[in-house]
């Protein structure tokens, strides 16, 4: 999950760089698109991943299988039922 967080942060940095380039070129449409369809969602997802990592750390690692099971139950609920 930490690798996913690092990847999302890199994607976010790339989007911010693209936004800066669009701003420098006075491309208001691209700036608006990036802000409304990419950047906000990216930040929310990064926060969510960070929260999940924090939760996993708080749960500890004595019995990894049990920690993963509890984490899945707490985050996914009963979505595994048909």
Q: Which residues are annotated as a binding site?
A: 8, 42
Half-sphere exposure of 55 (CA within 13 A, CB side): 16
Report the C-alpha gap between 54 and 50 in whole angstroms: 6
Positions at the binding site for Fe cation: 8, 42
Question: For residues 55 and 74, is the Cβ–Cβ distance under 8 A?
Answer: yes
């Amino acid at each position: 999950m930490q690798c996913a967080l690092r990847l999302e942060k890199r994607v976010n940095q790339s989007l911010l760089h693209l936004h800066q380039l669009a701003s420098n070129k006075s491309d208001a449409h691209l700036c608006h698109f990036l802000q409304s369809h990419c950047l906000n969602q990216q930040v929310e997802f990064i926060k969510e991943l960070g929260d999940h990592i924090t939760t996993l750390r708080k749960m500890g690692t004595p019995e990894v299988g049990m920690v993963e099971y509890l984490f899945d139950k707490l985050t996914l609920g009963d979505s595994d039922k048909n």
